[in-house]
Structure 1
Amino acid sequence: MKTFKVLLMAGVYCAFLISVSCAQNKSGSVNLDLHIDKAKQFLDGLEKEKDFSGQAYISYKGKTLLNKGYGYADRENQISNNKNTAFDIGSLTKLYTKAAIIKLIEQGKLTLDESLDNIFKSVPTDKTKITVQQLLEMSSGLPEYVPGAHGDFDRISKENARTAILNHKLNFEPGTANEYSNSGYTVLAMIIEERSKLSYQDFIMKYIVPKDISIHGFYSDDHWEENKVAIGYDMLSHGKRNSPVYWPEPEWGIMGAGGLVTSAEGVSQWLEAIKGGKVLDKKHTALFDQLQLKNPTPRGTTALIRAGGSSYGFTSSIADYPIEQLAVVVSSNTGKFNVPEEVFRNLLSWLIRGEGLEQDNNSVRTQSQNSGGNASPKEAKLNEFLEVISEGNLTSYVKNNFSESFISDHGLEGHVEFLKTIREREGGFEVLETLENRMGFLKVLVGSKKTNENYALEIEFVTSPPFKIDGIGLSPFGGDVINKVVEGNSSEGFSPVENKLMEFLQALSGNESELKKYISDNFERGFLERHEGVDGHYNFLKNFSGGFNDDVELVDLDDNSITINSKLKKNNQVLKITLKISDVDNKITSLGISD
């Protein structure tokens, strides 16, 4: 069955785009009419009224328009963020990993089409022909996270991480699809060490970060000063101070995918160094640009838009318009804000358009609201889907609008029966709000025309024309785990893994002795031993003390594993929980909790 992986961990590719309005002069260069004062007012108001804390850096045609800190880097000691404060930049680290791989290619130590069996020994047969390029482009089929790693700070050796990743079942045949993969970038970090004979961190600092730009480094590096690195707030906490100064150096659960620390200015300066040929030669700078994920604007130019962050209070986002020579970077050390959506999109809108985004700008327009025909391809597909659910030929619709692989997964009759069930029970839907909109994926809140219930409707698309539907999920917006409708898997009762999940969520609300007893009684022996026994697991799970709200969203379910999204009671942070059980005694064999 096609399932959905809601990409909430460090580093989703943001699929939003604020297009630019500009004029070309006679020389062909681009001039923008920027609204920098309004952008500054927006950020000042956010700091004053909503306790935003972080940094913003804006440059245009080589001139710095804004480089400022907001709020506190250290609330307890009232140390303010300034332009030099360093932040955990999360998955923006992947940009540096990509540059490092291309540096190895420039040095003649690696090729893009080189396969894993030519780099490592004893690669499982189904992974042997995965190429370096497929790892870079996230088309390898490797899992989203390092299997068995419980979080950013879970101790796991390089060898154990490589074994866990390469022994995991592929999500798809390499080269046939794209799916976000942190573990693929961890494999790239392993390749960097294998071919350079340096540690990943040493290679990055020696060859990838020029010495004349703002300070860069990794967690726990000796050069960090306590009052110059922000503390993360309003999310999970790790160590005596929730700061990269005190965090352990990056483990192989995130190596290559995260772990870098710098300022917003540092990120922008590094990208300028890349474009200016200070890191790679001209040929390989062009290759770096070619391999970037970019979003086309209506003008035919492209903008690189990325976001990264962690469960520990940090987020960083960047929008780079190379032709327009505009760069915007925002870093934050508060979990109160979803920076890519709540701050970053609005900042770009104020800067480029001179106005903020209205509430209904985030909602998908239905066909009746959009008679002008300006809907995006995904919006158009959504409208068609909603129309056929209300009335229409379901068989013809599935044949013409579902991808071949999706039809193959469930059969034509299976899809038609599923859609008939929805039609009979719900009578169709109305779109209430867009919940998530990114490349190849759309998630909307819909209301049932018959029952007045609300649902989260998720549609996955093939990312090339004609943008056929490649997956569908429908789950109640709120309610318990069992009140669900997911294509190919509806159930009246509780499965063993669902029972185990609900027991686990209840145990999280207990006291220390109750939670430790639950761990001892319900975690598989080998799983206990891999993570320092009951105490090791408890030290991880106490980060989620107080438990989760009753409202959950089902993401994935099969016989032995379940994934949900739910909110922590103490701060309403949405986290993804994945739990797997043994098919022998139903004990927990794997558990992951991440943003």
Structure 2
Amino acid sequence: MKQHTPNAARHDSNPRLRLLSVPVLLSFALAAGACSSNGITAPETTTTAAPTSTPITGAPPASTPTSTAPDTVVDNTASTDTSLAPERTTPPISTQTDQPDADSQSDTDGERAHADIVADFFAELDAENFTGTVMATTPDGVYSAGFGAADRSAGVDNDVDTVYDIGSLTKQFTAAAIVRLEMDGLLSVDDNIGQYVDGLTPEQSEITLHQLLTHTSGVPHGLGPDDEVIGLADYIERVANSEFPASPVGEYAYSNVGYSLLGAVVEAVTGGSYEAYLRDALFLPAGMLHTGYVLADWTDATIAVGYVGDEVFGRPNEQPWAVDGPGWNLRANGGLLSTMPDLHRWDAALRGDEILDADAKAKLFAPHVEVAGGDGAHSGYGWNVVPFDDGTTLITHVGGNGVFFADFYRFVDHGITISIASNVADPLAFDVGGGLASMLLPELFADGVCELDPTPVDAAAGFDLVADFPDTPAGRAMDNWIQLVLSDSSSDADDRSMLVDYVKQSIGDGFIDELGSETVADMITSLQDTLDGFDLDRIHQEDDTTFHVVVADPDGNDAVISTRLDATSHPRVDCIGVFV
């Protein structure tokens, strides 16, 4: 049984890892060999066919294409506030090297820059065996591709229109439903939930909709597994019998329960089902025909099968559900099915005022309360709002259940939106969105986390082999760091507290300032899971503060943990690169 979390990911057993500089809740990112933060070098050869794409309804008409790379549709028509920029298939991931002639380059420099960046990034994803779908909207167009298998047994590949479980991205639609009902004069976000939902305790009934929307209500995180078929009446009774407050009212504590209660409010106010209201008020007006639980049109669609390694999890809608969708442990807080084109239709709708007016969107995207451990990130309604030093804003959310994973980035001031989904949620899926964002917007990610290029075993052998870490402050700090990453990960609260304390004392400010101590602790836990069963094999020292530690498992697999410490009296981990 799966119970989804706000940042869940299934860890693959053989990734290549490095740290990625992004100011949101991300884990370790994959890199291929020597990979810098300034770009990703595409593999020289691959046998993958060209990515496919499907036109997005409502896009501006295409203009006459100019000469460009093979199979690349170029359209310089500007997008409007209420429609997507013209979609284009990225250049094929192949060995073809045809380029536009010199006479055509001057008119398409900006377009080709984005196209080249995305094509190289997609080629890298293909080389790293990513499974899922990626779509990116820029001011110049929409780029998209599918990777890996949607259904291994049937031999069906993921494509641009594959349907995925989008996890907690569901919350943004629940929040939009609430502000739309307020926009229509049917409720206020300042109302108490007791005005709409019976059966809660007197204290719980005083919770406001605003508190539920911002994860400050004090209700628990979760009350049961996603696949439990529990009806609304039984769910409300369970909430009433739960500990309250489970966290201090008014303080941020992420809660799936809170959003399920908001779904109950939608049903109480509309007199219909939660999904029916989303379909009629949000999805259909936005042109989203392939989003929902059971009401969407998936007649000709491929719904991805989820996998955990070689184990088949199945399709989301093959899990135990009621006839009208999942039970209330999941309903309205997660589990909606959607496609990447539908998410970008939603993004386009949010740029207009037809579905939600300016006042409603202002509430949706306001930084209402700081996210715990988010280091500057705030909770909006159903979204996280992340400010940058240059005054621009990222609006984002992530979702996953340990099998499926989805990520959504809206760089609203730059006109760039990125969505990704995977039916094999491993560390690569976890960081695809942030990786592509850092390529398209390098100016936002130029500072912060220090990265070392992952060092293969043969390259590590080029440095001095030492018998043990030196008896110096740096050597002792390295010894502690390696012991930590080679220890077993733990979900025990005391162990977690000790890990966070270690992060605060022994990890450099670049990591803490950019990512936050809680996220860095998550990253270390991810690395511990990846290196489970590995032991220290040999130590190569590059200089007084830089080490390349080779670790190996009983099956003969090896990895290199490259680490640089800062040159202080109390050395802290300053740069990391991991090659597995």
Instruction: Please give the TM-score of this superposition, normalised by the length of structure 1.
Output: 0.55
Question: Is 1:166–2:263 an aligned residue pair?
Answer: no
From 436, 460, 468, the equivalent of 1:347 is 436
Indicate how the Cα distance of structure 1 residues 445 and 254 shifts in structure 2: closer, same or farther if over 3 A, else same: closer
Look up the match of 1:152. 226
- Structure 1 regions of 5+ residues with no counterpart? 21-30, 364-386, 391-417, 447-454, 458-475, 479-548, 552-595
Q: CA deviation at 1:158?
A: 0.8
In the alignment, what sits opposite 2:174?
Answer: 97
- 1:262 and 2:370 matched: no
Distance 1:85 1:334 in 2: 14
Instruction: Give deviations 1:200-236, integer Å, cap 9, x for gaps.
Output: 0101101111355243333444732475222112269
Give 1 or 2: higher helix fraction. Answer: 1
1:322 aligned onto 2:332: no
Pick aligned residue for 1:283 from 348, 359, 383: 359
8 Å Cα contact 1:434/1:444 also seen in 2: no
Alignment CA distance shift 1:297-1:74 (3 Å): same
Cα distance between partner residues in 2 of 1:96 and 1:215:
15
Q: Which residue of 1 aligns with 2:18?
A: none
1:133 to partner: Cα distance: 0.3
Superposed displacement of residue 135, structure 1: 0.4
Q: Which runs of 5+ in 2 are unaligned?
A: 11-22, 30-36, 39-108, 367-379, 453-476, 481-496, 535-580
Which amino acid in the other structure matches residue 352 of structure 1? L
- Aligned residue type for 1:244: N
Higher RCO (CA-CA < 8 Å; seq separation 6+): 2
Structure 1 residues 429 and 332: CA distance shift in structure 2, 3 A: same
Query: What is aligned with 1:217?
Result: 291
Closer, same or farther: CA 64–165 of 1 in aligned 2, 3 Å: farther
Code of the aligned partner of 2:438: S
State the match for 1:361 in structure 2: 450
1:424-453 per-residue CA deviation (whole Å, 9 max, x = no partner) reads: xx9x9643997998568344499xxxxxxx
Distance in 1 (alpha carbons) for counterparts of 2:327 and 2:181: 22
Question: Alignment partner for residue 136 of structure 2, among 44, 58, 70?
Answer: 58
Superposition deviation, residue 140 in structure 1: 0.7
User: Structure 1 residues 308, 14: CA separation in 2 closer, same or farther (over 3 Å shift)?
Assistant: farther
Does the residue aligned with 1:69 lie in a helix, a strand or coil?
Answer: strand
Q: Which secondary structure state, in structure 2, belongs to the residue aligned with residue 345 of structure 1?
A: helix
- 1:144 offset after TM fit, Å? 0.9
Aligned length: 376
Q: For the residues of structure 2 that align with 1:361 and 1:109, how far apart are their CA atoms?
A: 50
Matched ranges for 1:83-482 at <5 A? 83-145=160-222, 147=223, 149=224, 151-169=225-243, 170-175=245-250, 177-211=251-285, 213-221=287-295, 223-225=297-299, 228-234=302-308, 241-244=314-317, 248=321, 249-290=325-366, 291=380, 292-311=383-402, 313-341=403-431, 343-353=432-442, 361=450, 430-431=506-507, 441-444=518-521
The alignment partner of 1:133 has SS state of helix
Superposition CA RMSD, Å: 4.5
Q: How does 1:518-557 map to 2 (within 5 A)?
A: none
- Residues 533-575 of structure 1 show CA distances to partners (whole Å, capped at 9, x for unaligned) of xxxxxxxxxxxxxxxx899xxxxxxxxxxxxxxxxxxxxxxxx
Partner of residue 125 from structure 2, selected from 43, 46, 50: 46
SS at match of 1:218: coil
Change (3 A) 1:237 1:89: farther
CA contact (8 A) 2:275 2:295 kept: no
Q: Which 4+ residue blocks in structure 1 deviate beyond 6 angstroms?
A: 17-20, 236-239, 354-360, 432-437
- Asked if structure 1 preserves the Cα contact closer than 8 Å seen for 2:207 and 2:217, the reply is yes
Percent identity reads 22
The CA distance in 1 between the partners of 2:451 and 2:203, in whole Å, is 41
Q: Which secondary structure state, in structure 2, belongs to the residue aligned with residue 244 of structure 1?
A: helix
Residues 93 and 236 of structure 1: CA distance in aligned 2, closer, same or farther (over 3 Å): farther
Does the 8 Å contact 2:136/2:144 carry over to 1?
yes
Following TM superposition, by how much is the alpha carbon of 1:72 offset from its aligned partner in structure 2, in angstroms? Answer: 2.0
* Aligned partner letter, 1:52: F
Cα contact 1:210–1:273 (8 A) shared by 2: no
